[in-house]
Each structure stands twice: as C-alpha cells, then as structure tokens.
C-alpha cells in the first residue's frame, strides 16, 4: 500500500502530533508499506526512518504525491493540503488529534468548511471525547507511545515525590498544581515537585511559588527529551497532568505510566482515556480536588502499587505496532 501522510508539524519541531506522525510512519514501513510524509515544518527533505519527508510542497508536488498514493491520510485535517482530492479519487482518511472548534461568525468559516467536508472522508478519533464532538461517525483508535524508550529502569531509585512535565503555558494548569501544593502545605504535607518544561509562563510560576511560600519544594528543570527524560521520570512516584483545557488525549500519560509513575490528571476530554485504570482523575480547574487526590496518594503510598499492577495491560493497548495494525486494517477496509 502506498500511504501519503500529512502532518502540518513534524521534526525538528517537538510535540505530540510530531511524535505520533513519526511513530505511525515507521510502523507502516515496518509492516511492508511505502510511506511519504508531507509537512509544512521547514527543514531538509529526504529519507528518514525508512520513509520520505517532503516539506512545504509546491502545488505540483502535492498533486503528484496525491496521484502516487493509494490512501491519503491527514493527521489533523488541513484543507490547504487536501485540495487535490477535489479532483482525484483517493480514500481520504482524517485522523482527529484535536477538536475542530465550533464555527463562530465569519472568522469560523474555515472550521465550518472542515465540518462540512468531513462527510467526504473517513474519520479516526484518538479518544471517545473527540469522537463524540464530531458530526460524523468515526473509528476510535488511541495514540501510541514509544515503548522502546519509555520504560521502568529498575536501577534507578524512585526517591522523589511529584513530577509534572509539559510546555509552561496557561492551558496546562501548572498554576493549579502550585495552588494545590499550597493547600497541602496547610495540612502539613510538603511533597517535592520537579517541573520539567519551558515556556512563557515560567517566570509567572516562579513568582507564584514564591508568593505561596512553596519555592523550596519546587525544582524547575527546563525542557528534557529522550533518555534523560525517561531517567528523571523513573525517579518519581507520582506524575501530575493538571490541564485546564480538555486534552484530546494525552500521550504524556502513557509515557509516565510506562516509566512507573502513577498519573493524576484532569478528567474532562480524552486524558481520562489515556490514564485508564492506572491513575486518578479530578475535575478540570479544581485545585482543591487535585490537592485531595494528591493527599490520598501521599498518605497511602501502598495504593500506588495497585495502580502500577494495571499498567502492563493498559499500555499493551497502545503499543505502536498494534495501533498501526488498527490503522492499516481501517485503510484496507476503506480501499
């Protein structure tokens, strides 16, 4: 099968959709298929991990790529990259990695058009919440994680309390986590927190920690990737994912579970699907509820072992090869 995969963002950009696009392309190639990936992220064209990357294609290049493929897959719908399908008859598969916002006024014309055109393609949703937000039927296939990288390292002592990671922006809710730590401090609980990531809210979070008198509990490590990140996660017992907004899924939950952490994450959206039975959820934006969830785990550390016992089965549903098989079966049925 010749698969054309579009991903607006791709390496060297760092993020969830970039990782998922790379992992899926690699697994499709391993399964014996030919893959070409189109992205608007600048960089070098050429082969990587067994598939060809075409960056910022011209109209002519995109037309030729569409003619070449057996199936046209978009990792998030992009109308500027879908125009050849107005003429060519190719199966159009749309993978919904996030929400399509409800159109409002003239500025929402693009989203209105996306929602209208969904009926001409076949949809895949990464979580139940995303599927329920769409006006068309979709196949639910969760995102994979990199099992070859994110693993428990028995040689590393799990001596630290809390870890949180992600881009330091308001949507991710790290301010809620600091507020929850302040509430715990009033009860005499002062767990240490390692905050991994960088972003525009870093200085505001440092000031908030100082104002709440919890600065001595927090270590800001900056952005981390690869084995350094895996080793740092393995040093911690609990991973907090306090997103204010409704996460469409949350590969980070799978990554921390794979490293032996018990996740505590916000409930609405698809993050609860990613956490599964391996952790605890709380209402989005509710700092007191987050504090209560953390207090329970900190006061009853024996409960952590129960969550960890469920990790292997849950993670097995998200191994890259298995997720790729679900995709390929869907492509085949569409063809």
* 258 shares a domain with 166: yes
The full DSSP string for 140-167 is E-PPPB-TTTS---TTS---EEEEEES-
DSSP state of 259: T
* 193 shares a domain with 74: no
Q: What percent of the chain has pLDDT over 90?
A: 95
**CATH code where residue 129 lies:** 3.40.50.2000
The count of structural domains within the chain is 2
* 325 shares a domain with 310: no
* 174 shares a domain with 104: no
* 68 shares a domain with 15: yes
Instruction: Give Cα 115 distance to the centre of its chain.
Output: 23
Predicted pLDDT at 221: 95
Phi first, then psi: give them for residue 182, nearest 5 degrees: -65, -40
Neighbours of 1 (CB within 10 A): 15
11 within some domain: yes
Residue pLDDT, tens place only, 135-169: 999 999 999 999 999 999 999 999 999 999 999 99
311 within some domain: yes
Q: What angle do CA 271, 274, 277 make, to 5 degrees?
A: 110
265 within some domain: yes
* 305 shares a domain with 276: yes
Residue pLDDT, tens place only, 274-306: 999 999 999 999 999 999 999 999 999 999 999
Predicted pLDDT at 102: 77
266 within some domain: yes
152 within some domain: no
Q: Poorest-confidence range of 85-89, 106-110, 242-246, 305-309? A: 106-110
* 323 shares a domain with 308: no
**Percent of residues in the chain assigned helix, strand, coil, to nearest 5:** 45, 20, 35
* 169 shares a domain with 311: yes
284 within some domain: yes
38 within some domain: yes
Predicted pLDDT at 98: 95
Neighbours of 102 (CB within 10 A): 10
* 131 shares a domain with 11: yes
Predicted pLDDT at 240: 98
Predicted pLDDT at 106: 60
Predicted pLDDT at 16: 83
User: What is the end-to-end Cα distance of the chain in Å, rounded?
Assistant: 10
Nearest to 138 by CA among 101, 97, 110: 97
* 171 shares a domain with 282: yes
* 329 shares a domain with 274: no
Neighbours of 233 (CB within 10 A): 29
Residue 14, pLDDT above cutoff 90 = no
Neighbours of 42 (CB within 10 A): 9
* 37 sits in which H/E element: strand 34-39
Q: How far is Cα 190 from Cα 183, in angstroms, rounded to an integer?
A: 10
Q: How far is Cα 235 from Cα 286, in angstroms, rounded to an integer?
A: 27
Q: How far is Cα 199 from Cα 166, in angstroms, rounded to an integer?
A: 9
Nearest to 24 by CA among 40, 4, 44: 4
- On average, the pLDDT of the chain sits at 95
Q: Write down how long the chain is.
A: 335
Boundaries of domain holding 175: 160-316
* 94 shares a domain with 26: yes
Residue pLDDT, tens place only, 97-142: 999 987 776 658 889 999 999 999 999 999 999 999 999 999 999 9
155 within some domain: no
């Amino acid at each position: 099968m010749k698969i054309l995969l579009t991903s607006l963002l791709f390496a060297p950009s760092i993020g969830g959709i970039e990782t998922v696009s790379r992992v899926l392309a690699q697994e499709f190639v391993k399964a014996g298929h030919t893959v070409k990936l189109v992205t608007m992220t600048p960089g070098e064209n050429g082969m990587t991990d067994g598939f060809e990357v075409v960056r910022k294609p011209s109209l002519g290049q995109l037309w030729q790529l569409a003619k070449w493929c057996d199936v046209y897959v978009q990792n998030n719908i992009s109308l500027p990259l879908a125009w050849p399908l107005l003429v060519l008859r190719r199966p159009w598969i749309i993978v919904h990695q996030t929400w399509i916002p409800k159109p409002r006024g003239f500025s929402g014309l693009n989203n209105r058009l996306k929602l209208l055109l969904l009926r001409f393609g076949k949809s895949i949703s990464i979580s139940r919440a995303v599927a329920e937000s769409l006006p068309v039927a979709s196949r639910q296939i969760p995102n994979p994680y990199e099992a070859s990288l994110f693993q428990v390292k028995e040689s590393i002592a799990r001596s630290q309390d809390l870890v949180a990671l992600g881009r330091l922006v308001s949507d991710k809710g790290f301010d809620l986590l600091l507020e929850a730590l302040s509430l715990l401090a009033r009860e005499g609980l002062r767990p240490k927190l390692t905050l991994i990531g960088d972003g525009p809210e870093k200085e505001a979070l440092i000031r908030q920690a100082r104002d709440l008198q919890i600065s001595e509990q927090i270590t800001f490590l900056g952005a981390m990737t690869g084995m350094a990140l895996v080793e740092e996660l393995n040093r911690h017992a609990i991973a907090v994912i306090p997103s204010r907004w409704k996460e469409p899924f949350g590969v980070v939950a799978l990554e921390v579970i794979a490293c032996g952490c018990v996740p505590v994450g916000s409930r609405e959206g698809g993050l609860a699907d990613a956490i599964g039975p391996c952790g605890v959820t709380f209402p989005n934006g509710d700092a007191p509820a987050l504090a209560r969830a953390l207090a329970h785990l900190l006061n009853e550390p024996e409960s952590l072992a129960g969550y960890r016992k469920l990790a292997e089965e849950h993670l097995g549903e998200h191994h890259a090869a298995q997720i790729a098989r679900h995709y390929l079966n869907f492509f085949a049925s569409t063809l």
